[in-house]
């Protein structure tokens, strides 16, 4: 037929996992085809995830910092928000990056086939709905990187334009007067942060007893305290049981853990209750690849599925659904497919919420250590004693290091405060290298920086801290 392609390695999906795998395989001398249904490369992360959210969070940070400069004797006028210009700027950042990927693919002779790919056999994918018409792509080896999509809830009118998922929220159609964020996880709280800064009154509802379940409670508390002061309401241990689209707004029914029922009406609702893998959408069975009932594809340490010439990476293989995990797995899969000895052997994967303040953690949390019965000791440094943090006009941060009591090695870390996401990388390195408290405590950190708080937390644990600030 007219449209038939073959490559040694075919990558299905061009998110951070997929493009990384495709580029690495091409760099190792393989002929590579990348299949993508979207008009642009980059997947969720570049188009509707990490990057546009961080662009908007930057704007949010500038707005709130300007507002709070009053305490330092500087005041600005209330910001005038040109939503079209802000959206245009954000879209520009995204298209610069997705366009860059086109160039990187061309430079490596990675052929991009556009359309939705579904397996039609163990060495064949049928591609349809793309601009080049229907086609087939055969392969020697395949890397599945089909990613994930937002979870929808059955009792929510998702077809009402006032009900948004994260993609809708990033479109920035308007700034609602009152907005409900349904789900107090990382994505929901990041978008809450953006809309709060832009002037919306925010309510967050979370089923669990803390925001950002997964992080230690004490590390979320500074964030919670700050947003309690800014947002309209934070409802914990509360679930949404019904939502009705009315002319005046979205009428939402809440039920708390004691059975108390209440209703409220919002101009918009962001549903951020998690993401589900796209494994069920690719007809993986035709290739003999098993997909579990939730849509995940199981892989071994070499990222191989049960079918030895088919690999899978990124959100579609499991938690945590994070871009840096997908990238790492993409490299492993490409290198193994190209005949190299490689396996996924990272000990830890950092998690970051780019809220204000940021919350970041890596390795064991205290909660996890407790539930798994692992003994840990800790060193905690409150940023109220950090000269740099106070100079930045902020005092609520905290750095916590967890140590193995046997050998004082770092086994976990959590940081809440401005730039926590950047700071957590040092702790990840410490864990990967088997660093102990003395390594962190005796490494000279630049003064005055927030990075010193890791140094101080280690010294707190060692009992060798002398003067703070």
95 binds ligand FAD (CB under 6 A): no
The interface region with ligand FAD, picked from 40-48, 69-77, 86-94, 175-183 by CB under 6 A, is 40-48
Q: CA 401 to CA 58: how far, in whole Å?
A: 28
Residue 197 contacts ligand FAD per CB under 6 A:
no
Does position 146 interact with ligand FAD (CB under 6 A)? The reply is yes
Question: Is 338 a residue that touches ligand FAD (CB under 6 A)?
Answer: no
| Burial readout 443-453 (b: 16 or more C-beta within 10 A, e: otherwise) | eebeeebbbbb
Please report where in the chains the tokens 């642009």 appear, as a residue.
40
Among candidates 346, 310, 305, which has minimal Cα distance to 329?
Answer: 346
The overall longest dimension of the chain from CA atoms, in Å, is 76
In the numeric block, which tokens belong to residue 113? 């086939």
Least distance (Å) between residue 395 CB and ligand FAD: 26
Active-site residues: which are they?
A: 447
- Residues 368 and 371: their CA atoms lie apart, in Å, by 5
Query: Which phi and psi (to 5°) does residue 135 adopt?
Result: -155, 170
> In the range 345-404, which residues lie near ligand FAD by CB under 6 A?
354
Q: How far apart are the C-alpha atoms of 294 and 399, rounded to whole Å?
A: 36
Min dist CB 118 to ligand FAD, Å, is: 6
Interface segment toward ligand FAD; rule CB under 6 A; list 41-49, 101-109, 210-218, 440-448:
41-49
Residue 14 in contact with ligand FAD, rule: CB under 6 A: yes
CB of 291 to ligand FAD, least distance (A): 13
Please say which residue, 44 or 287, places its beta carbon nearer to ligand FAD.
44
Based on the shown chain and the rule CB under 6 A, indicate whether residue 278 belongs to the binding site for ligand FAD: yes
303 or 365: CB nearest ligand FAD? 303
Which of 183, 184, 314, 441 is the binder for ligand FAD (CB under 6 A)?
A: 314
Is residue 18 involved in binding ligand FAD (CB under 6 A)? yes
User: What Cα–Cα distance (Å) separates residue 399 from each residue in 287, 344, 349, 410, 419?
Assistant: 48, 28, 18, 13, 12
Residue 353 or 369 with smaller CB distance to ligand FAD: 353
Binds ligand FAD (CB under 6 A): choice among 25, 105, 117, 205:
117
Nearer to ligand FAD, 316 or 440 (CB): 316
The piece of 88-96, 222-230, 312-320, 446-454 that touches ligand FAD (CB under 6 A) is: 312-320
Binding segment (CB under 6 A) for ligand FAD, from list 43-51, 218-226, 247-255, 333-341: 43-51
Contact 454, 400 (CB under 8 A): no
Rule CB under 6 A: say whether 13 interacts with ligand FAD: yes
Task: Tell whether residue 44 is a contact of ligand FAD (CB under 6 A).
Answer: yes
Find residue 382's DSSP bridge partners.
398
323 binding ligand FAD? (CB under 6 A): yes
Nearer to ligand FAD, 57 or 369 (CB): 57
Q: In terms of CB distance, is 13 or 184 closer to ligand FAD?
A: 13
| Pick 286 or 380: Cβ nearer ligand FAD | 286
276 sits near ligand FAD (criterion: CB under 6 A): no
Task: Report the interface residues with ligand FAD, using CB under 6 A.
Answer: 12-18, 35-38, 43-45, 49-50, 53, 116-117, 145-148, 166, 187, 278, 281-282, 314-316, 321-324, 326, 354
């Amino acid at each position: 037929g007219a449209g038939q392609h073959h490559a040694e390695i075919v990558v299905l999906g061009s998110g951070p996992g997929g493009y990384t795998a495709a580029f690495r395989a091409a760099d190792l001398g393989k002929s590579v085809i990348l299949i993508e249904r979207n008009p642009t490369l980059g997947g969720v992360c570049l188009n509707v995830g990490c990057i546009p959210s961080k662009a908007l969070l930057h704007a949010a940070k500038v707005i709130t910092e300007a507002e709070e400069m009053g305490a330092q004797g500087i005041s600005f006028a209330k910001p005038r928000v040109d939503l079209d210009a802000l959206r245009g700027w954000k879209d520009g950042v995204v298209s610069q990056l997705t366009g860059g990927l086109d160039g990187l693919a061309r430079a490596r002779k990675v052929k991009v086939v556009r359309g939705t790919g579904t397996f039609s056999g163990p060495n064949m994918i049928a591609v349809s709905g793309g601009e080049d018409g229907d086609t087939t792509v055969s392969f020697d080896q395949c890397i599945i990187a089909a990613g994930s999509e937002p979870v929808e809830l059955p009792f929510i009118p998702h077809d009402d334009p006032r009900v948004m998922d994260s993609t809708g929220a990033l479109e920035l159609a308007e700034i609602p007067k009152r907005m409900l964020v349904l789900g107090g996880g990382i994505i929901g709280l990041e978008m809450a942060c953006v809309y709060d800064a832009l002037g919306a009154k925010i309510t967050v509802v979370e089923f669990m007893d803390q925001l950002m379940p997964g992080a230690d409670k004490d590390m979320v508390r500074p964030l919670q305290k700050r947003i309690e002061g800014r947002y309209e309401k934070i409802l914990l241990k509360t679930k949404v049981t019904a939502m009705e689209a009315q002319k005046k707004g979205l009428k939402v029914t809440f039920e708390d853990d004691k059975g108390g029922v209440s209703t409220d009406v919002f101009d918009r609702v962001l549903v951020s209750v998690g993401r589900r893998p796209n494994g069920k959408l690719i007809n993986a069975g035709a290739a003999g690849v098993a997909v579990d009932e939730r849509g995940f594809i199981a892989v071994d340490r070499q990222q191989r599925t049960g079918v030895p010439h088919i690999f899978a990476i990124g959100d579609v293989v499991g938690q945590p659904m994070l871009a840096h995990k997908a990238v790492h797995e993409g490299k492993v899969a490409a290198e193994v497919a190209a005949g190299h000895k490689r396996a996924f052997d990272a000990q830890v994967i950092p998690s970051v919420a780019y809220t204000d303040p940021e919350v970041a953690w890596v390795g064991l949390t205290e909660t996890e250590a407790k539930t798994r019965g692992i003994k840990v000791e800790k060193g905690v440094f409150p940023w109220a004693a950090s000269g740099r943090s106070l100079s930045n006009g902020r005092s609520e941060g905290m750095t916590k290091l967890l140590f193995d009591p046997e050998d004082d090695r770092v086994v976990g870390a959590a940081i809440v405060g401005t730039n926590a996401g950047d700071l957590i990388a040092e702790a990840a390195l410490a864990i990967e290298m088997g660093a102990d408290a003395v390594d962190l405590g005796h490494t000279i950190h630049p003064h005055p920086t927030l990075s010193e708080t890791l140094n101080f937390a280690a010294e707190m644990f060692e009992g060798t801290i002398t003067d703070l600030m």
